[in-house]
């Protein structure tokens, strides 16, 4: 009788052990996959930007003796860039963070003075595929649209900042330095 009871209950006793084994196998393979990604593919978890301002930063081309003014720079982390690419300067100027609201994951603003530098370090959202940098100039070039830059996540370096030069009413992305 003890033997029949044991035979009937044995599958019930082994079931939790089997299920635990399946979960253990899955977590080991997830850990291996995670280790491979961290070794062979550097993930960008923090956005590093350096903004270098020239002396002629934010001037008014219609004035003969135009003083250079500080520049407001906005940085947006975007899920997708389609709506942002269609956004016009006036929308970003007046609506700020609410302009392309469906794709903004995070944003920051900073002021850069003529001839000075500013650094921005902020956590990069996991869902962010693009980073948009907008310079709110007094007289932006609406034809060239060089008052804004959009960087893909792949363009970012996890260890060193991307350098953006602001001057003459435009933003210019500097190439990565070869070490």
Q: Report, as an integer, the average pLDDT of 36-46.
A: 71
Question: CA 70, CA 95: separation in Å to the nearest integer?
Answer: 20
Same domain membership, residue 76 and residue 119: yes
**Domain containing residue 31:** 1-39
Same domain membership, residue 87 and residue 122: yes
Q: Report pLDDT digits (tens) over 91-132.
A: 888 877 666 566 899 999 999 999 999 999 999 999 999 999
Total structural domains within the chain: 2
pLDDT score of 144:
92
Mean pLDDT of the chain: 83
Contacting residues for 5 by C-beta, under 8 A, at least 6 apart: none
Q: Considering the domain boundaries, does residue 179 fall inside one?
A: no
Same domain membership, residue 85 and residue 165: yes
Same domain membership, residue 84 and residue 21: no
Whether 171 shows a pLDDT value over 80: the answer reads: yes
Same domain membership, residue 104 and residue 32: no
Same domain membership, residue 66 and residue 30: no
Whether 15 shows a pLDDT value over 70: the answer reads: no
Same domain membership, residue 153 and residue 120: yes
Could you tell me the CATH number of the domain that includes residue 129? 2.60.40.4150
Q: Report pLDDT digits (tens) over 65-95.
A: 668 899 999 999 999 999 889 888 998 888 7
Kind and range of the H or E run holding 39: helix 2-40
């Amino acid at each position: 009788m003890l033997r029949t009871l044991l035979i009937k209950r044995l599958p019930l006793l082994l079931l939790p052990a089997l299920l635990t084994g399946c979960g253990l196998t899955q977590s080991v393979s997830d850990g291996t996959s995670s280790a491979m990604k961290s070794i062979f593919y550097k993930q960008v978890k923090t956005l590093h930007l350096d903004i270098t301002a020239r002396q002629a930063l934010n001037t008014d081309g219609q004035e003969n003796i135009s003083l250079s003014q500080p520049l407001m720079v906005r940085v947006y982390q975007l899920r997708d860039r389609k709506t942002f690419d269609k956004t016009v300067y006036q929308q970003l100027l007046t609506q700020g963070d609410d302009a392309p609201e469906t794709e903004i994951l995070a944003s920051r603003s900073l002021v850069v003075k003529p001839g000075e530098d500013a650094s921005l370090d902020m956590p990069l959202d996991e869902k962010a595929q693009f980073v948009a940098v907008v310079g709110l100039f007094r007289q932006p070039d609406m034809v060239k649209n060089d008052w804004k830059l959009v960087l893909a996540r792949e363009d970012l370096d996890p260890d060193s900042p991307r350098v953006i030069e602001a001057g003459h009413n435009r933003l210019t992305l500097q190439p990565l330095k070869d070490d």
